[in-house]
Structure 1
Amino acid sequence: MTDTEHDREQRGTAGRFAGRRFVVTGGSRGLGEHVVRLLLSQGAQVATCARKPEPLETLHNSLDTPADLFVRTLDVSVPELLDRFVEDAVSALGGLDGVVACAGGAQGRGITEASAEDWAATWRMNVGHVAQLVSTSSPHLRETGGGSIVVVASVSGWKPGPQAQYGSAKAAQIHMVSSLARELAPDGIRVNAVSPGSMLIPGKRWDRMRREDPSAFDRFRSEFPGGELVRPEEVADVIAFLLSDQSRGVTGINLPVDKGQNAPTPEGY
């Protein structure tokens, strides 16, 4: 899809989230920022959080309607801080219609180098954060008659790649989604996962490789049948679909957005 076609499609969906309220964790940069901006552009009110205040301030100050965005600096792996953020966001927005668990990350290297704390921190950031977010937000979604929860997992959750602590945490997220979708279905709450492939995000790993080691980047591109990495806006579009009424019959799935990627890393596995 060309940029012109993409822009035309977005104009066609303008306002589809008018009156809707969403919480997005990890929304200050990268994929999370694309999700926040897309939801706002389609009429939503959004609350988001991140570890550092500067990117949140930059995002907030760049908006035409900054009043539609509630922001807070916090570490989502600390349950009490995440709980307070959700409660305050719901109060500020006047309710809750959907949630995106986008914050994530990894700590440590290979199995002989990674410490027990590296494993625990990676699982707290990914699995613990999602569990706490769903636990705190689902009562509010129930109050508004149901809603949609989208968990951003990863191609690494079902295609092996280093490091194992990250891949296994993402695999756990995918399993959580299939289980929670059934548990929360009686409340009208849908739960789905999106598994992005390797995304070309300015300043991040693959963009640095593209600029600093073009030959290595070209080799990595061969993992994609079409020769191109995933763009974050492509993933954001799918997340928005899963939040929308257009996907009201969809729950409990893991939807890859990876352009058919083979190995998730240049290491070839």
Structure 2
Amino acid sequence: MNLNLKDKVVLVTGGSKGIGLGIAATFLNEGAKVAIVARGEESLKQARDQFVEMFTIQADLYDEQERERVVKEAVEHYGTIDVLINNVGGSNGSTTAETDLTLFHEAFELNYFSAVHFSKLVLPHMKEKQAGSIINISSVFGRESGGKVTYNSAKAAMISFTKSLADEVIKDGIRVNGVAPGSILHPSGNWQRRLEENPEKINQFVEAEIPAGRFGTVEEIANVVTFLASEKASWVVGATINVDGGQSKSNF
């Protein structure tokens, strides 16, 4: 299927490894122009070595001024931004009672406020063209209990924000959607580390919790993201789509 993404300018946050890099690579395969941003210089170098046509930006995405610089550099390099993928994220803390309040603030700054801020920063460029796509990478645990409470809460907020912004800007030709991955196995992820530490326990988890009987792959997430960014998904507005092999217990 031709997704008509050739020469579209795509910005992927948290794009130097894992799901973010997989998304960037899939857009490149569709002929898009891709900029990725991440904090780690080494991972950015490795991504650039693998995909020489990719534009890389090093930045600390906890910082508002750094986020502003990222968008400025991407626009200066490519002239505009057609597609924004809010992928950067991470988890911290443990239970609510045992997690310091500052960790909740940190989780929301990275997982949620960065997505809100980047969206606000790219909207003027998209409104000028009356076209654009914003895709927020949340999690099935944004809809139900599971994982760290700080992460769950921030991803739940992201899903709500996705619908709210989508309804606000569709009149300007801008579509906002989300993808909620289930458990995805990739070399730099937590599931790979856990599998190496205790394969029996993790294999039992897969058997009990994932109806498809295996972990998902980065490519399976990236394929859905690129479709949502394309004209083929023109009537998908404000949706957050589970991509999880049936793992989620929710029915919406």
Pick the TM interval, shorter chain. Answer: over 0.9
Decide which of 235, 239, 246 is 2:221's aligned counterpart: 235
- Report the secondary structure of 1:230's partner residue: coil
Can you give the 5+ residue segments of structure 2 that lack an aligned partner in the other structure? Answer: none
Q: Which residue of 2 aligns with 1:204?
A: 189
The answer as to 2:234 corresponding to 1:248 is yes
- Report the secondary structure of 1:191's partner residue: strand
Decide whether the 8 Å contact of 1:96 with 1:144 is kept in 2: no
Q: Which residue of 2 aligns with 1:82?
A: 67
Decide which of 204, 213, 221 is 1:219's aligned counterpart: 204
- Report the secondary structure of 2:95's partner residue: coil
The 2-side partners of 1:81 and 1:189 are apart by 24
More moved, 147-156 vs 84-93: 84-93
- The one-letter code of the counterpart of 1:127 is Y
Q: Which residue of 2 aligns with 1:18?
A: 6
Give the drift of 1:32: 0.2
Tell me the TM-score normalised to structure 1 length: 0.89
Q: Which residue of 2 aligns with 1:183?
A: 168
The answer as to 2:94 corresponding to 1:106 is no
Decide which of 107, 127, 148 is 1:122's aligned counterpart: 107
Q: Which residue of 1 aligns with 2:45?
A: 57
- The one-letter code of the counterpart of 1:257 is V
- The one-letter code of the counterpart of 2:66 is L
- Report the secondary structure of 1:112's partner residue: coil
Q: Which residue of 1 aligns with 2:177?
A: 192
- The one-letter code of the counterpart of 1:134 is S
Decide whether the 8 Å contact of 1:161 with 1:263 is kept in 2: no
Give the drift of 1:262: 4.3
Give the drift of 1:26: 0.5
The 2-side partners of 1:234 and 1:219 are apart by 22
- The one-letter code of the counterpart of 1:162 is G
The 2-side partners of 1:187 and 1:80 are apart by 27
Q: CA RMSD in A?
A: 1.5
Q: Which residue of 1 aligns with 2:118?
A: 133
- Report the secondary structure of 2:120's partner residue: helix
Decide which of 29, 36, 44 is 1:48's aligned counterpart: 36
Give the drift of 1:203: 3.8
Decide whether the 8 Å contact of 1:27 with 1:33 is kept in 2: yes
Give the drift of 1:154: 0.3
Decide whether the 8 Å contact of 1:152 with 1:195 is kept in 2: yes
The 2-side partners of 1:44 and 1:203 are apart by 25
Q: Deviations over 1:76-101 (max 9, x none)?
A: 12111101111210121111211100
The 2-side partners of 1:162 and 1:209 are apart by 14
- Report the secondary structure of 1:138's partner residue: helix
Decide whether the 8 Å contact of 2:15 with 2:87 is kept in 1: yes
More moved, 129-138 vs 101-110: 101-110
- How many residue pairs match? The answer is 249
Give the drift of 1:207: 1.5
By relative contact order (CA 8 Å, sep 6+), the higher-ranking structure is 2
Q: Deviations over 1:155-195 (max 9, x none)?
A: 11012113211101100000000100011112111000100
Decide whether the 8 Å contact of 2:90 with 2:107 is kept in 1: yes
Decide whether the 8 Å contact of 2:16 with 2:43 is kept in 1: yes
Decide whether the 8 Å contact of 1:83 with 1:136 is kept in 2: yes
Runs of 4+ in 1 over 4 A off after TM superposition: none
- The one-letter code of the counterpart of 2:58 is T
- Report the secondary structure of 2:66's partner residue: helix
More moved, 167-176 vs 199-208: 199-208
